[in-house]
Amino acid sequence: MVNFIFGIHNHQPLGNFGWVFESAYERSYRPFMETLEEYPNMKVAAHYSGPLLEWLAENKPEHIDLLRSLVKRGQLEIVVAGFYEPVLAAIPKEDRIEQIKLLKDFAKKLGYDARGVWLTERVWQPELVKSLREAGIDYVIVDDYHFMSAGLSREELYWPYYTEDGGEVITVFPIDEKLRYLIPFRPVEKTIEYLHSLDDGDESKVTVFHDDGEKFGVWPGTYEWVYEKGWLREFFDRVSSDERINLTLYSEYLKRFKPKGLVYLPIASYFEMSEWSLPAKQAKLFVEFVEKLKEGGQFERYRIFVRGGIWKNFFFKYPESNYMHKRMLMVSKLVRENPEARHFVLKAQCNDAYWHGVFGGVYLPHLRRAIWENIIKANSHVSTGSFVRDIDFDGRDEVFLENGNFYAVFKPAYGGALFELSSKRKAVNYNDVLMRRWEHYHEVPEAATPEEESEEGVASIHELGRQIPEEIRRELAYDSYLRAILQDHFLDLETTLDEYRLNRYVELGDFLAGAYDYSLFEGGVALERDGTVAGKPARVEKTFHMTEDGFVVDYAVRSDVKALFGVELNLAVHSVMEEPAEFEADKFEVNDPYGIGKVAIELDKKARVWKFPIKTLSQSESGWDFIQQGVSYTVLFPVGGELRFRLSFRER
């Protein structure tokens, strides 16, 4: 007989659309638990994230009642995590403990004293042991890949182990990767055969399936397969009645057996994450390497040595994510003694918007907007004033300005540009705009996954190879610079809007990413750079004043080369789909009703204005997403000598 633990992880990100919650509930969460209720001998370990529980409590209280009933019947073991589903390794220790405590308190309302942790995205680092123990946790669930990365063979992965850090000890359960690809994508018989194959007379042997609940109805093709074709009922029926399978829960297993021994797990997540977290060029090589091993029949033999990146690499891969994360850390320190403000910080730690894999993640503007909303709301509880320091730990100082209504953060070393303009009143960051990047899957049709090919069942997301549609490919462009506000361009006089928006133009100056000198004054900052245009000396000065409704910036430009001088403002326009356009104006309005709202751009003289949407191509569970990350507005003036003008930004 083999012990078998079956678990699910149900989560919807903070900021996700209400219809997404509703759809996932109807296609997965509700039918799954209602089916479970019909099989009293079936047991499930379940983790529900805080954002999902809050939505259920408000919109589907009957589901909360059902969970409570299943706990009472002994069919459901509640496994917790950080309430707002943070990657625990990426937040301060004090916040980890508070996050876990919040979800443990909710579990008690369901009638369960939770002692186990579902590790968000299975991101492990050894020092988590102390935080977890301090939070009252006895066991944690990670992937078998973590154990293989520590050198254990597959044959050693059918037991939990102890792991230790600084004298604190916790139990770690490995999730069986084989089961992750069988359940629910292959016929039930395949899972039964695999479980039977593990039965070797060792009564302590245990295999664990614990994975996304959305696989049971939300992922493409799974609703029909799992419910309409009866996969789940057959699975529950056969697993709960098979004499060679002992269906158990984590807590029940630990009452009967002690862990196998001591292991030390390296920093790791699941196998697919080690591909996704690599920089794009290296991720492409990683996929090629895995495919070469598989083609030569060598992958299984050597896979314990095949490792890619770690989750925190996303902060290197996406500087926009890094900056958002470091702003969250900054505010976390400032408001730790303020319960109301701190709650906003805990919300801002929701993991999804900080990274990207097969799901949209950082590429989804509404998820980033929710993070920024909570960072700003938390920050608004304390006064920081103006200061200079390296906020995002890139080795270069930022200039942080604050008045009664706004935060403005400049990067003097990167074009003297404005990389955050946050409104306290609207709780939005006007510069929440992601640059257009080449991702490795734009060329690699398949992911580096260890699953076997099979025509039976339904394909896992990880098995889907996709081609980019031609209509997207025609508009696809990649940026050579991060997108900010008040970015300074020198362009050839013949440059067209199409060349500019598709990044097929020549930048004549070295101001866009060059370092500016700066000096602070009351309510603003003066930035200046002596650089070159077409190899000849040029100078740009911009004097920035914060106002009650936005900012005013005075430009003084000197270039003997005849060119177009452009000031680019990248604004987080997400709810209004814009088309490229060119016009002349001394003022224009931006209206994004479900995003940044209304703003007005005013000039003291007429300028040519180019606008175009910044659209990124990313993969998602449903295919390709060609998403508007924001809109670029560039005001252009001819220069060939002296140029002076004033630009005003007003919040409406």
Which residues are part of the catalytic machinery?
121, 212
Report the helix count and the strand count for the chain, using DSSP H and E.
21, 22
CA angle at residue 593 from 589 to 598, to 5 degrees?
A: 30
- Torsion sign over Cα 434, 438, 444, 447: negative
Task: For residues 195 and 127, give the distance between their C-alpha atoms in angstroms, rounded to a whole number.
Answer: 34
Measured CA angle at 488 (ends 483, 493), to 5 deg:
115
Show the beta-strand stretches assigned E in 200-244.
206-212
What kind and span of H or E run contains 249? Answer: none
Q: Which two tokens stand for residue 534?
A: 């077409």
Contact between residue 559 and residue 589 where contact means Cβ atoms under 8 Å apart: no
- C-alpha closest to that of 254 among 132, 165, 138, 154: 138
CA–CA separation, 493 and 396 (whole Å): 33
In one-letter notation, the amino acid at residue 287 is V
Per the DSSP assignment, residues forming a β-bridge with 600 are 589, 650
CA dihedral 240, 244, 250, 252 (to 10 degrees): 90
What is the rounded distance in angstroms from the CA atom of residue 207 to the CA atom of residue 376? 44
Q: Contact at 8 Å (CB) between 363 and 418?
A: no
Of 38, 47, 37, the C-alpha closest to 6 is: 47
Torsion of CA 364, 369, 375, 381, to 10 degrees: -170
Cβ–Cβ under 8 Å, residues 160 and 261: no
Q: Helix, strand, coil: what percent of the chain each, to 5?
A: 35, 30, 35
d(C-alpha 619, C-alpha 361), whole Å: 10
Structure token pair of residue 230: 């009866």
Cis status, amide bond into 31, omega within 30 of 0 = no
Distance from C-alpha of 236 to C-alpha of 239, rounded to nearest angstrom: 5
What Rg, from alpha-carbon coordinates, does the chain have? 27
What's the farthest any 2 CA atoms get from each other in the chain?
88
Q: Which helix (H) or strand (E) holds 483?
A: none
Please give the C-alpha separations between residue 119 and each of 123, 507, 644, in angstroms, as whole numbers. 7, 46, 56
C-alpha span between 511 and 528 (Å, rounded): 10
Overall size of the chain counted in residues: 652
Other residues' Cβ atoms within 10 Å of the Cβ of residue 528: 16
Render 376-430 in DSSP notation, one character per residue: HHHHTTS----EEE-SSSSSS-EEEEE-SSEEEEEETTTTTEEEEEEETTTTEET
Question: In this structure, what DSSP letter does residue 29 have?
Answer: I
Residue 593 CB-density burial (10 A; 0-12 exposed, 13-18 middle, 19+ buried): exposed
Give, in degrees to the nearest 5, the angle at Cα 450 between 448 and 454: 110
